[in-house]
Structure 1
Amino acid sequence: MAANEVINADIDIATPTLGRRLAAEIFGTFLLVFGVIGTAMFASFNTGFVGVSLAVGLTVVGGAYAVGHISGGHFNPAVSIGAAAAGRFAWSDVLPYVAAQIVGGALATTVILAIRSGSTSENVGTFTGVSNGFDAHSPSGFNLGSVIVAEIVLTAIFLYVILGVTDRRAPSGFAPLAIGLTLTLVHLVLIPISNASVNPARSIATAIYGGPESLGQLWVFILAPIVGALIAGFTYNLLFDAKKRA
């Protein structure tokens, strides 16, 4: 009986249940969205978009080291979809992961809304201001076409990096750092263009409190990151991991 308990304990550690993996995704996505949107709303007056970019990178590093061994540390529907397209993740788990990520993001912005309600300072941002957008809702006035191209290309780059640093041939232990630094770079480029999505859960989380115009433009920030993730997922093995044929 004791031997069976030990074996079962080992199996439990090696293969977390779906419920535990979803809990880890909710936590990780909450941390990511709370970090980036909290910084954007409460601190960007002082830090600018550089501070926001660093915040999102730091939250990804922290979340990945904290619960990445449980769920894989996706925290982003595009990552789950891209990993599945690359054959690294089960398609059957994509929808549960996406649902968990949306819940985690929405919980984060709900907490931020509660905190924001206690301030009347003009230095505190709004959900409309931190939601993703194009044309008048782009920080630098970029149009729809520019935003779509930027979101697709930078999401694809982000996924290529994720797939590369988690490749079986990559050095172990450094993946969270590489992913966090890459996401920081992505945000440095994308914040002036679209307020930086590359993550549909993040976009949904702010749009639900951003008003009708934010919700009306949300489709771009669901579709474009998914397209970028699929491009990277379906081409990674062909470009970087093709096995030699006899």
Structure 2
Amino acid sequence: MAEDLTSSETLELPLNIGNDDSINDTVPLMQKLVAEVVGTYLMIFSGCAAVVVNLNNNNIVTLPGVATVWGLTVMVLAYTLGHISGAHFNPAVTLAHASTKRFPLKQIPMYIVAQVIGSTLATGSLRLIFRGANDHFTGTLPAGSNLQACIFEFIITFYLMFVISGIATDSRAIGELAGLAVGSTVLLNVLFAGPVTGASMNPARSLGPAIVHNHYKGLWIYIVSPIVGAVAGTWAYTYIRVTNKQRNGIL
């Protein structure tokens, strides 16, 4: 719960490692969907497991530890699956990429379903492993007002998607650092926003635990704000990026 470290700090994330405006059509759609299910499962399982272990062991993992787990998990999965599915693991990222025509509109529903399935299965696995008193709600809840949570989730998702758009979709950026940059952004966001909102940045991350625990309080915040923040973030970067017109020998 977000009131303290008992809440589930997230991740997310999401990542298109390909070159600017490229959509990898060489990988069969079914393989992409399986990659999204597996990647989202591993991300949610690792991050939420850190939260549960922390709660069951007198905060031994600590907030920085939980944040590190989320960030490192996003980083390694981005490098592992980015070339297959784009490593979105996040409906907000999928929708943001689609809004700038970096992702096919017809694949949006299937990607979102795959991401929610992965998150739900991961949360279900944790409930099977941790039973009774050791079973904790790993979803996201506002520690303060709904307005505060909305603003926080908008800003941190904007931040995340702005970084993704800059490092992972612009061919002039150092693409090899995409996973490191995005994972680091997730880590930073969880450090300061985790105690306030649970630092979701990802509708699937919040939906999975809500479905498994049948706990939907404040869920709309974690669906609306990340989507709006992600779309705003990618469009903000798109607006300020240098054009493709050559000026004085510099692109």
Q: Deviation per CA, 1:59-115, whole angstroms, max 9, x where unpaired?
A: 111111111110011111111111112332122221111110000000100100100
Q: Are the equivalent residues in 2 in contact too, given 1:84–1:233 (CA < 8 A)?
A: no
Q: Residue 136 of structure 2: which of 121, 126, 144 is its match? A: 126
The answer for the alignment partner of 2:204 in structure 1 is: 201
Structure 1 residue 18: Cα displacement: 0.5
The number of residues matched between the two structures is 220
Q: Are the equivalent residues in 2 in contact too, given 1:42–1:125 (CA < 8 A)?
A: no
After superposition, residues 135-174 of structure 1 pair within 5 angstroms as 138=143, 142-166=144-168, 167-174=170-177
Pairwise CA RMSD? 1.9
The answer for the alignment partner of 1:30 in structure 2 is: 41
Q: Residue 76 of structure 1: which of 72, 84, 90 is its match? A: 90
Highest CA radius of gyration, 1 or 2? 1
The answer for the alignment partner of 2:234 in structure 1 is: 233
Whose relative contact order is higher, 1 or 2, with alpha carbons under 8 Å and at least 6 apart? Answer: 2
Q: Are the equivalent residues in 2 in contact too, given 1:40–1:125 (CA < 8 A)?
A: no
Q: Are the equivalent residues in 2 in contact too, given 1:152–1:227 (CA < 8 A)?
A: yes
More helix per residue: 1 or 2? 1
Runs (4+) of structure 1 exceeding 3 A deviation are 241-246
Counterpart Cα distance in 2 of 1:71 and 1:209: 26
Identical counterparts, % of pairs: 34
> Which range moves more in the overlay, 82-91 or 28-37?
82-91
After superposition, residues 209-220 of structure 1 pair within 5 angstroms as 209-211=212-214, 214-220=215-221
The answer for the alignment partner of 1:192 in structure 2 is: 195
Counterpart Cα distance in 2 of 1:183 and 1:210: 25
The answer for the alignment partner of 2:14 in structure 1 is: none
Whether 2:98 is the aligned partner of 1:97: answer no
Structure 1 residue 233: Cα displacement: 2.5
Q: Which amino acid aligns with 2:210?
A: A
